[in-house]
Structure 1
Amino acid sequence: MSEPREQRAARFKAALMKSGARSDTSLYEHLVRLLSRVREEQPQDPVDVLEEMSRELKRGALQQDRGALRDVPATTPGQWLAEQQRALFSHARDEDEDDLVETPLPNLAEVAFFFQQAGVGLGGEEMQKVSLALRQLSDARPLRSCRFWGKVLGTEANYLVAECREAEPPGGAGGEGPGEGGDEDAAKMIVPPSTYKAPPVVPAEERGTGTNSSAYFVCREPGLPWTRLPDVVPAHITAARRIRKLFTGRLDAPVTSYPPFPGAEAEYLRAQIARISSGTQVSPLGFYHLQEEDEEEDEDEEQGTTRGRVEENPDFEPLPVTAMSKSLSAWVHHVPHILTQGRCVWVNPAEKPAAEPDEDEEEEEEPDEPEREEGPALFTPLSEDAEMDRLPPWSSRLSSALVPRFAVAYVRSNLWPGAHAYARGRKFQNVYIGWGVKSDAAFSPALPPDPQREFPGGPEVTEEADPTPQEERALRAAAEDKDETEDETEEDEDTE
């Protein structure tokens, strides 16, 4: 049975009214506009000008590509990071070859290769980007040396850390610790006397010495701007030893912990870097030696410190890699130990600066002299490091026991997981890749302090007990009798 004519016409009209793939206008709408124009203009040769009129209608509709009218897609984080990293792969074409040779940077490709033999590293692509980022940092700042310290992992982002020695480190103390200075307005307020005596503030070490001997720069990804971490102060180191906190990847993030940490994540990161460097920066025995300074040698001996610079020993004779992999005595610490007070060089916190004596001021009793603290000597072998909960502090290995001739000796720290060092001949290097948390099975959060003593009792603060109804009646009766007696006495005096 054939389909009715009306249904076929309706189906054909519906097909004409479908929009095209490149335009929103359907063939039906285009034909209606074309025939309407022919009717209005009534050309002499409509067959000849029909195609030209159709093209003019299409151009007049201004129908562009549908994709051009859509919103521009947002840039993805990967695309944005790629744009930031484009500057790493660009260099000036007129650079002198001598400038390319004289650089404070180590051969990071060689360092990555040796660490790869020990099973440590970030991968070839990331290490290449890190090398270019370090070059960018050294070009922007006057540095005597610059090396890749490591990578600190975080919950939101990671930190790439560069350890640098500035060409001209600014003088002055490393920073002002919490409690230094003070508000003059708060000191003038009238407050009740307090028996609490704040502990003396331990001063920070100057830049270029002790815990502030190096400057540290961090960035999230290669190609992003480098940020210089603040100098570390003893209060930050002592507070970091009492907490365990993962990093977020934001330098301005608050450190929520107990006991409270006196600073943001930037200060906490700098304190952890100082602790890790002091405990895990190692080198082959005899590679460095101490170049003492003769001018202040006598003064330093009286203070119990050793002043000088750690320099490379030109007469160093490397040990075989097999001997270094079997004995921890072949490795030594070349970074000073951090004392309990948060410094590498001990200072007397009770010592006051010299000042003119005041006659009106009463003489105060001087506190007992604290006992001087002395840490392990410089270049102490790793074999003398103390164990913690029966955990050996170090593990030494050989990268390949099958081909020891081309292998490298390496050690890894068990107290700071992620700290590694390798050595082969006169070449060695240290790196840290971890969460920045010390491995301590016996760690437990600090307990809250003991509650303060209550105010001592006495008659001036003791409340009297309320009288009973019987006592009130007795007092009232005694008062009435006394009044009556006084009235009778006055009447007798008037009668006389």
Structure 2
Amino acid sequence: KKNQIRIVEGALESFPGHDTVATLEGWVHASPALLSTGKCSWPDLDSLEEGTLPEETILAINAQKEAEPEKAILEAIGADLEELRPEDGEGSPAWNVKVYGDKGEYTFPDSKKSYRITAVRSLVWPGAITVAQGTRFANLYVGYGTKCAQLVQPYKESGLPLTGASPFSSGNMQLPLAPEDVMDEPNDMEEQEEPQPALVDDASDGEDMEKEDE
């Protein structure tokens, strides 16, 4: 079935080595990537009966599908945000890979072992991390469930931040998370007269308002 992982025999024996998981090429996506709609796939328009959706809606969905294709599972993470990678830059604009701990390799009677830990951190979803040690790995996410544009370079052509990221509103056409950008000062409002009637000020006529003692 689509986007399902099947466990095969001998998976542990073919688990990537330490040198492989220390590179971007050693990691793939275990789940489909999220689209700007917050889903992993576009609607299957062919399965709908004719007339279910207006023609304008169908054209809009097809335009979105063409501009933002679906990404299947097991795609290499090195291809993420490839359009933001500098021409002479190395690494990934979306991921950071780092090795921690003792990097030595020890020889045992049956095999060689290393106690190093490799961590892969997401720069788009702060708080998302995967760690691996030997043939063990774990995925963890502790965050606000929103993208972040502060650690990612802006788009080269427009200079706008990552689409759908907070707190920048100019990059949030599909997923607004902040007010619109303030471009001009607001117009001055016309002053209006006091709605309550003005009180008559008798003292303004120059008369003495204090009564004389009899």
TM-score, structure 1 normalization: 0.24
Match of 2:15 in 1: 318
Q: Residues of 2 paired with 1:382 and 1:333: CA distance?
A: 6
Show structure 2 runs of 5+ residues with no match. Answer: 87-91, 106-113, 151-160, 162-167, 170-177, 182-214
1:347–1:410 Cα change, 3 Å? same
Task: Using the TM superposition, give the Cα deviation of residue 350 of structure 1 relative to its aligned residue in structure 2, in angstroms.
Answer: 11
Q: Residues of 2 paired with 1:353 and 1:333: CA distance?
A: 34
Question: Superposition pairs for residues 320-359 of structure 1, below 5 Å?
Answer: 320-325=17-22, 327-347=23-43, 353=49
1:406–1:348 Cα change, 3 Å? closer
Task: Using the TM superposition, give the Cα deviation of residue 396 of structure 1 relative to its aligned residue in structure 2, in angstroms.
Answer: 0.9
Aligned match for 2:119, one of 410, 414, 430:
410
Q: How many residues matched?
A: 133
Secondary structure in structure 2 of the residue aligned to 1:371: helix
Q: Residues of 1 paired with 2:39 and 2:148: CA distance?
A: 22
Match of 1:384 in 2: 79
Aligned match for 1:396, one of 62, 74, 97:
97
CA contact (8 A) 1:322 1:398 kept: no
Q: Residues of 2 paired with 1:341 and 1:331: CA distance?
A: 25
Q: Residues of 1 paired with 2:127 and 2:139: CA distance?
A: 11
TM-score, structure 2 normalization: 0.50
Secondary structure in structure 2 of the residue aligned to 1:428: strand
| Counterpart residue type for residue 322 of structure 1 | D
1:340–1:435 Cα change, 3 Å? closer
Larger Rg: 1
Task: Using the TM superposition, give the Cα deviation of residue 375 of structure 1 relative to its aligned residue in structure 2, in angstroms.
Answer: 1.5
Task: Using the TM superposition, give the Cα deviation of residue 313 of structure 1 relative to its aligned residue in structure 2, in angstroms.
Answer: 3.0
CA contact (8 A) 1:321 1:398 kept: no
CA contact (8 A) 2:41 2:70 kept: no
Secondary structure in structure 2 of the residue aligned to 1:329: helix
Task: Using the TM superposition, give the Cα deviation of residue 335 of structure 1 relative to its aligned residue in structure 2, in angstroms.
Answer: 0.5
Q: Residues of 2 paired with 1:383 and 1:347: CA distance?
A: 27
1:341–1:318 Cα change, 3 Å? same
> For each residue in 1:440-460, what CA deviation from the matched residue of structure 2 results, as whole angstroms up to 9, or x when unmatched?
133223539xxxxxxxxxxxx
Task: Using the TM superposition, give the Cα deviation of residue 419 of structure 1 relative to its aligned residue in structure 2, in angstroms.
Answer: 1.2
Match of 2:180 in 1: 447
1:308–1:416 Cα change, 3 Å? closer
Q: Residues of 1 paired with 2:7 and 2:121: CA distance?
A: 23
Task: Using the TM superposition, give the Cα deviation of residue 434 of structure 1 relative to its aligned residue in structure 2, in angstroms.
Answer: 3.3
| Counterpart residue type for residue 447 of structure 1 | E
- The percentage of counterpart residues that share the same residue type is 24
**Structure with more of its chain in helix, by fraction:** 1
Secondary structure in structure 2 of the residue aligned to 1:309: coil
1:424–1:339 Cα change, 3 Å? same
Aligned match for 1:428, one of 104, 115, 137:
137
Task: Using the TM superposition, give the Cα deviation of residue 348 of structure 1 relative to its aligned residue in structure 2, in angstroms.
Answer: 5.4
Task: Using the TM superposition, give the Cα deviation of residue 379 of structure 1 relative to its aligned residue in structure 2, in angstroms.
Answer: 0.6
Task: Using the TM superposition, give the Cα deviation of residue 401 of structure 1 relative to its aligned residue in structure 2, in angstroms.
Answer: 4.7
Task: Using the TM superposition, give the Cα deviation of residue 328 of structure 1 relative to its aligned residue in structure 2, in angstroms.
Answer: 0.6
Secondary structure in structure 1 of the residue aligned to 2:73: coil
Q: Residues of 1 paired with 2:37 and 2:47: CA distance?
A: 15
Task: Using the TM superposition, give the Cα deviation of residue 415 of structure 1 relative to its aligned residue in structure 2, in angstroms.
Answer: 1.4
Q: Residues of 2 paired with 1:382 and 1:409: CA distance?
A: 15
| Counterpart residue type for residue 424 of structure 1 | Q
